[in-house]
């Protein structure tokens, strides 16, 4: 079968389970659903399918096995590693129509929902019930919970609440053979062998298509305060983290460079927090904590100011002010996007961050003397986003090639500290060739063996991850 024949065959094959309007092969749909947020891959899907139930997904997967189609599971398409890009005539399975919240169980504090429910809808539903879903990030308004599960999404509150994994109490998943597994059923305790849930979390759609999840909710925290600090030296960031985490529980500890902040302000997505000299600081730290810790937080601030570790600070006194300060950090990704940055999403243990920052800083100044480099990230959990900006006059392919050429040097620094080349964005297509910097050959062999169990014919997301 050639790629050219596939759109027709997709109608013939999947038309047995889906009504015609839930199979799209028009050029616009192929362009939209063939992609995630990465820009360096060309999408070329054969068709887009819109199932509404787990049994429709299972039927699609069985048909794909029988007809030899490859499938690309697709959520909110906010991924940054190409995990949801269909490059070679695959059939995209969009979870867009699987967006129902099915049940709220207040006793267990569980929200059961289909995989296509938007993350922010889960947060808002939790709030309506007087509860809290703590996983949060800039793309929460469009990402799907199923995609969050597929990449084990992290975001801004990991230091206090952990990653998506911690909040998934059960799931329904269709494996690569079309079998339906219902896992853990929302139980807190379940000592009956392998917890298969955790294999599917972070598997980037290579083992199964998650169709339903039991999301655990928790009590709402106190109202939060946000503090933004002007930091003159890179080394000051971890001194600030140490000073605060010794005395108060932080909900978030983020940082960004002046260059990153300037981009956000230039695009009108936030306003400058400081006037005068502090406004020229090269780095900023953003901290979030319970309002009851405010006095303590200000004491620590005074001590840091006295020793010159910070040169200024601004604290929120209302939710609106807190949102305005968060806008400085949360809008960085969107503000840089038009410049098509080459994205790095790396992590090391927190104790290794200070020395890692020095090495990366040195490497970046030497390797990218002509490129602007934007630093930001969730430094409180060891995760650094290093975005290299493409000079306006350089062709994208040439720019990506130069960055790819430097990546092994950066990843060698990660490897030296047993860190991760993809802390939270996933491996997808973008980081696949570099997986060996974070995973041993034995680990990759084990992953391939697991893939063979759940997807023996390799129909799910081929070419991603490894």
Interface residues with ligand MLT (CB under 6 A) are: 80, 137-138, 332-333, 343, 385
Given the complex with ligand MLT, which of 138 and 169 has the nearer CB atom?
A: 138
Min separation Cβ 355 and ligand MLT, Å:
22
Given the complex with ligand MLT, which of 333 and 420 has the nearer CB atom?
A: 333
- CB contact set of 430 (below 8 Å; sequence gap of 6+): 38, 40, 80, 81, 82, 343
User: Could you give the CA distance from residue 96 to residue 106 in angstroms, rounded to a whole number?
Assistant: 27
Min separation Cβ 386 and ligand MLT, Å:
9
Min separation Cβ 75 and ligand MLT, Å:
16
- CB-side exposure of 202: number of CA atoms within 13 Å? 14
As a three-state string, the secondary structure of 244-293 is HHCCCCEEEEEEEEHHHHHHHHHCCCCCCCCCCHHHHCCEEEEEEEEHHH
User: Could you give the CA distance from residue 156 to residue 330 in angstroms, rounded to a whole number?
Assistant: 9
Min separation Cβ 291 and ligand MLT, Å:
24
Min separation Cβ 426 and ligand MLT, Å:
11
Min separation Cβ 357 and ligand MLT, Å:
17
Whole-number CA gyration radius for the chain: 23
Give the nearest residue (CB) to ligand MLT.
333
Min separation Cβ 332 and ligand MLT, Å:
6
Given the complex with ligand MLT, which of 65 and 81 has the nearer CB atom?
A: 81
Given the complex with ligand MLT, which of 151 and 438 has the nearer CB atom?
A: 151
Min separation Cβ 345 and ligand MLT, Å:
6
Min separation Cβ 226 and ligand MLT, Å:
16
Burial (0-12, 13-18, 19+ Cβ within 10 Å), 274: middle
Q: CA dihedral defined by 168, 173, 176, 178, rounded to 10 degrees?
A: 170
Given the complex with ligand MLT, which of 51 and 426 has the nearer CB atom?
A: 426
C-beta of residue 391 within 8 angstroms of C-beta of residue 365: no
Given the complex with ligand MLT, which of 114 and 331 has the nearer CB atom?
A: 331
Given the complex with ligand MLT, which of 101 and 337 has the nearer CB atom?
A: 337
Min separation Cβ 337 and ligand MLT, Å:
8
Given the complex with ligand MLT, which of 203 and 331 has the nearer CB atom?
A: 331
Given the complex with ligand MLT, which of 122 and 332 has the nearer CB atom?
A: 332
């Amino acid at each position: 079968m050639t790629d050219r024949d596939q759109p027709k065959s997709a109608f013939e094959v999947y038309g047995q389970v889906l009504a015609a309007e839930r199979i799209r092969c028009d050029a616009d749909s192929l362009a939209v659903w063939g992609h995630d947020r990465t820009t360096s891959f060309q999408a070329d899907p054969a068709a887009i399918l819109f199932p509404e139930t787990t049994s429709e997904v299972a039927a699609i997967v069985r048909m794909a096995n029988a007809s030899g189609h490859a499938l690309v599971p697709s959520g909110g398409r906010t991924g940054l590693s190409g995990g949801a890009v269909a490059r070679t005539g695959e059939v995209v399975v969009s979870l867009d129509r699987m967006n129902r919240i099915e049940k709220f169980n207040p006793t267990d504090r569980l929200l059961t929902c289909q995989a296509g429910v938007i993350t922010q809808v889960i947060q808002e539903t939790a709030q309506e019930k007087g509860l809290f879903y703590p996983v949060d990030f800039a793309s929460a308004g469009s990402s799907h919970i199923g995609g969050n599960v597929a990449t084990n999404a992290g975001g801004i509150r990991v230091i206090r609440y952990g990653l998506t994994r911690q909040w998934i109490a059960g799931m329904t998943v269709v494996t690569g053979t079309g079998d339906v597994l219902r896992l853990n059923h929302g139980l807190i305790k379940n000592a009956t062998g392998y917890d298969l849930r955790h294999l599917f979390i972070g598997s980037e759609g290579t083992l199964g298509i998650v169709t339903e999840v039991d999301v655990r909710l928790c009590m709402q925290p106190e109202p939060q305060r946000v503090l933004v600090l002007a930091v003159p030296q890179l080394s000051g960031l971890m001194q600030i983290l140490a000073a605060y985490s010794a005395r108060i529980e932080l909900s978030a500890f983020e940082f960004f460079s002046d260059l990153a902040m300037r981009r956000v302000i230039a695009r009108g997505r936030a306003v400058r927090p400081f006037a005068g000299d502090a406004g020229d600081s090269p780095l900023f730290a953003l901290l979030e904590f319970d309002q009851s810790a405010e006095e303590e937080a200000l004491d620590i601030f005074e001590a840091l100011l006295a020793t010159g570790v910070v040169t200024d600070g601004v604290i929120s006194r209302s939710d609106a002010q807190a949102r305005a300060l968060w806008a400085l950090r949360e809008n960085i990704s969107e503000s840089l996007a038009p410049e098509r940055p080459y994205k790095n999403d790396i992590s090391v243990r927190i104790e290794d961050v200070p020395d890692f920052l020095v090495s990366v800083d040195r490497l970046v100044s030497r390797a990218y003397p002509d490129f602007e480099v934007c630093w930001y990230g969730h430094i409180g959990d060891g995760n650094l986003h290093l975005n290299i900006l493409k000079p306006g006059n350089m062709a994208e392919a040439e720019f990506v090639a130069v960055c790819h050429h430097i990546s092994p040097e950066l990843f060698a620094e990660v490897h030296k500290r047993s860190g991760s080349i993809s802390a939270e964005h996933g491996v997808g297509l973008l980081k696949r060739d570099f997986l060996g910097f974070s995973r041993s050959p034995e680990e990759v062999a084990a992953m391939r063996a697991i893939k063979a169990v759940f997807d023996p014919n390799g129909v799910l997301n081929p070419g991603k991850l490894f």
